[in-house]
Amino acid sequence: MRPVEIGLDGLLCLLLLVLAWKALRAPHLYQSAIYFIALGLVMALAWVRLAAPDVALAEAAIGTGLLGVLLIDSLRVFARDSKTDPDAESEEPPPGEINVYPAGSARPSGRTLPMILVTASCGLLAILLVEAIIELPDGGGLTAAAQENLERSGVDHPVTAVLLNYRGYDTWLEVGVLLLAMLGIFCAGGRVGFAETRQSNPPGHLLSWLIRALAPLMILAAAYLLWLGKLAPGGAFQSGVILGSAGILLRLAGFQVISRLPPLAVKLGLLLGFGVFLIFGGAALLTGRAFLEYPEARAGELILLVETAAAVSIGFTIFAFFAYLNSRDQPEAQENHAREEGGNQKP
Amino acid sequence: MIAGIETHQIYAVTAGLLFCMSLGGLFLCGHFFKKIIATKILGTAVFLLFISLGKRNAMEFADPVPQAMVITGIVVAVSAGAFALALARRIWRETGQSTFEDKP
Amino acid sequence: MTPADAATIVFCLAGAVFFLAGTVGLLRFPDIFSRLHALTKADNLGLGLIVIGLVFQAESIAGAFKLLLIWGLALAAGSNTCYAIGRYALERLPEKGPKEVEK
């Protein structure tokens, strides 16, 4: 390996460590969130260096983009003083308050012993881990096995083959985890339905023009990535995330996407991916094959169908995460109830 | 000696260090928000180790199996993170608490 | 080294210079508006030059077109972000001095 490459990798790794340290140690939560987003973007570069472009796409889009939006949106809630009157809660907090919210004060003082203990044990663990990682033997891996069966899988990109054919179970259950997380968020939020957010400062003409222009382009890009997943990095996850972010952008620009949809369509959108996997798995069982085993001749088409359903469902779910968390938290159950009866039905 | 270092080794060691750093952060940071960030970094460190070990004997493309699992993992980690944020926000809304400590 | 490679090196280096200057400006400029100014130069020109450099390496016309499309999208997104931040800062100007609005 050339020294230039070692220098680049070393610099990236150093940057990763520094950003992680800063994210954990920043005095303000807002800075913490920004450092975390920066960490995710540098991590995407690290994935590219490790020859894993699929992971880089997923990390940049989901790990950083979506979670970053959710984190910053949550700051809006945490920055709000819980003791203020309910009327004030509907207003956006002044921007200064987000910045000055101290996280350091959350740690109780006079707890040096646990701190020393934790630091020492983590340091010891670090030494042992690094030692173990260096000692690991080379070799192993499943690259050859994945390549060998590629022809039978119906797609030409090994990562997609693993995701949707060899390890279809994982992907199915993962779509299930998304669904579960959505249900959990409904429970934690204490309400169902996506209340409209009153924008305290509506987006300008420029922004709303841009988003109007970008939304179709993003849907096109999502379709392209989905189709490309057969031969090259891309696929259901990345495409779903682009769909989801198109929805998030539309909502941020003030277009009420999800609350316009009939409640049944919302539920169907959330369930689609999981359901299609289940139907295909069941059909495979009925015709005497293993669960989620595709007939070899038609594997390509079937995988594309399952992928499309999964992408739509993933996009819909992550958009729903944001739409739900972003809609106004209402402590008053009555107002909540009235709103739901007007707009959304309880499932 | 420097010429003997491979890309995956650098990243694997970094992953180990990141893991320990965020584990410490998980214990020492009080605020839910930071605990969630620490958990996310913890997960990312595991993914980094996984992928860099998958790169050990690959030529131009890393081992696809860990890659597929990490993509799955990223999505699951984000869903868990979103759920954790929702829980933290509910706790904050109901009790005004943002840490596990009892209020003085 | 072919002429295409030489052009790539020249354009990418020029782009890197713009990124470096933009970063220095972001760190050194005193208030939010001059920082935005520095940042947008890096985004627009730096990325543009690097994209032009990479176009010489593109395998097909479609590939080159995609690279240029990335630049166009980054331009649109970058100028909008800049506009949004600037507008946000400007709305807060009366209450606070320009210095406090930064970050």
Do the domain assignments include residue A30?
Answer: yes
Collapsing DSSP states into helix, strand and coil, what is residue A57?
helix
Structural domain count of chain A = 2
Put simply, the answer to whether A206 touches C92 (Cβ < 8 Å) is: no
Counting one residue from chain A and one from chain C, the pairs whose CB atoms sit within 8 A come to 23
Please tell me the predicted confidence (pLDDT) of residue A85.
34
Contacts of A99 in chain C (CB under 8 A): 103
Cα C62 to Cα B79, C55, C66: the distances in Å are: 36, 10, 6
Disruptive mutation site among B36, B72, B103 for chain A (greatest number of A CBs within 10 Å)? B72
Put simply, the answer to whether A49 touches B11 (Cβ < 8 Å) is: yes
Could you read off the pLDDT of C12-66 as tens digits, one per residue? 999 999 999 888 988 888 888 888 888 888 878 889 999 999 998 888 888 898 8
Distance (Å, rounded) from C-alpha A16 to C-alpha A10?
10
Is the CATH number 1.10.287.3510 carried by domain B2-95? yes
**Radius of gyration, alpha carbons of chain B:** 18
Distance (Å, rounded) from C-alpha A106 to C-alpha A26?
13
User: Is B18 a residue whose pLDDT tops 90?
Assistant: yes
Could you read off the pLDDT of A267-295 as tens digits, one per residue? 888 888 888 888 888 888 888 777 777 77
Please tell me the predicted confidence (pLDDT) of residue A328.
62
End-to-end CA distance of chain C: 45
Put simply, the answer to whether B65 touches A189 (Cβ < 8 Å) is: no
**Full domain range(s) for residue C84:** 3-101
Contacts of A62 by beta carbon, 8 Å cutoff, 6+ apart: A237, A241, A318, B74, B75, B78
- The answer to whether A236 touches A307, Cβ cutoff 8 Å, is yes
Distance from CA of A269 to the nearest CA of B (A): 17
Please tell me the predicted confidence (pLDDT) of residue C36.
85
End-to-end CA distance of chain B: 56
Collapsing DSSP states into helix, strand and coil, what is residue A258?
coil
- The answer to whether A171 touches B72, Cβ cutoff 8 Å, is yes
Based on the number of CB atoms within 10 Å of its own CB, is B45 exposed (0-12), middle (13-18) or buried (19 or more)?
A: buried
- Assess whether A15 and A70 both reside in one domain: yes
Could you read off the pLDDT of C74-94 as tens digits, one per residue? 888 888 888 888 887 887 766
**Full domain range(s) for residue A165:** 145-347
- The answer to whether A314 touches A230, Cβ cutoff 8 Å, is no
Name residue A211's amino acid: I
Counting one residue from chain A and one from chain B, the pairs whose CB atoms sit within 8 A come to 279
Distance (Å, rounded) from C-alpha A258 to C-alpha A236?
21
Residue A264, φ and ψ in degrees, nearest 5? -65, -40
- The partner residue sitting opposite B98, judged by closest CB among A23, A78, A114, is A78
Residue C60, φ and ψ in degrees, nearest 5? -140, 170
Disruptive mutation site among B27, B34, B40, B50 for chain A (greatest number of A CBs within 10 Å)? B34
B58 pLDDT band (50/70/90 cuts)?
Answer: low
- Assess whether A55 and A162 both reside in one domain: no
Structural domain count of chain C = 1
Do the domain assignments include residue A345?
Answer: yes
Based on the number of CB atoms within 10 Å of its own CB, is A24 exposed (0-12), middle (13-18) or buried (19 or more)?
A: buried
B3 pLDDT band (50/70/90 cuts)?
Answer: low
In Å, the largest CA–CA distance within chain B is 58
Could you read off the pLDDT of B35-47 as tens digits, one per residue? 999 999 999 999 9
Task: Please list the residues that pair with A57 across neighbouring strands.
Answer: none
**Packing angle, helices A112-135 and B7-28, rounded to 10:** 160
Distance (Å, rounded) from C-alpha A304 to C-alpha A183?
27
Please tell me the predicted confidence (pLDDT) of residue B17.
92
Q: How many CB atoms lie within 10 A of CB C51?
A: 21
Q: Which residues of chain A have pLDDT under 50?
A: 81-109, 330-347
User: Is C10 a residue whose pLDDT tops 60?
Assistant: yes
What's A86-150 look like in SS3? Answer: HHHHCCCCCHHHHHHCECHHHCCCCCHHHHHHHHHHHHHHHHHHHHHHHHCCCCCCCHHHHHHCH
Distance from CA of A310 to the nearest CA of B (A): 12
Distance from CA of A261 to the nearest CA of B (A): 23
Alpha-helix runs per DSSP H in chain C: 3-28, 32-41, 47-55, 61-92, 98-101
Do the domain assignments include residue A54?
Answer: yes
Closest residue in chain B to residue A241, using alpha carbons only = B75
Tokens 């869903």 correspond to what residue? Answer: B79
Give me the interface pTM, i.e. the ipTM.
0.91
Q: Which two tokens stand for residue A112?
A: 């040096």
For chain B, the structural domain boundaries read: 2-95
Please tell me the predicted confidence (pLDDT) of residue A104.
44
Q: Which two tokens stand for residue A333?
A: 């159950």
Distance from CA of B60 to the nearest CA of A (A): 7
Put simply, the answer to whether C84 touches A214 (Cβ < 8 Å) is: no
Q: What angle do CA A77, A81, A85 make, to 5 degrees?
A: 105
Query: Which DSSP letter does residue A104 get?
Result: G
Closest CA to B71 of A41, A158, A163: A163
Task: Please list the residues that pair with A28 across neighbouring strands.
Answer: A102
| C87, C88, C90, C96 alpha-carbon torsion, rounded to 10° | 180
- Assess whether A97 and A160 both reside in one domain: no
Question: Do B and C make contact, counting contact as 3+ CB pairs within 8 angstroms?
Answer: no
Q: How far is Cα of residue A44 from the mean position of the Cα atoms in its chain?
A: 14
Distance (Å, rounded) from C-alpha B87 to C-alpha B93?
10
Q: What angle do CA A45, A221, C52 make, to 5 degrees?
A: 60
Closest residue in chain A to residue B85, using alpha carbons only = A74
Please tell me the predicted confidence (pLDDT) of residue C59.
81
Residue scoring higher pLDDT (B15 or A172): B15
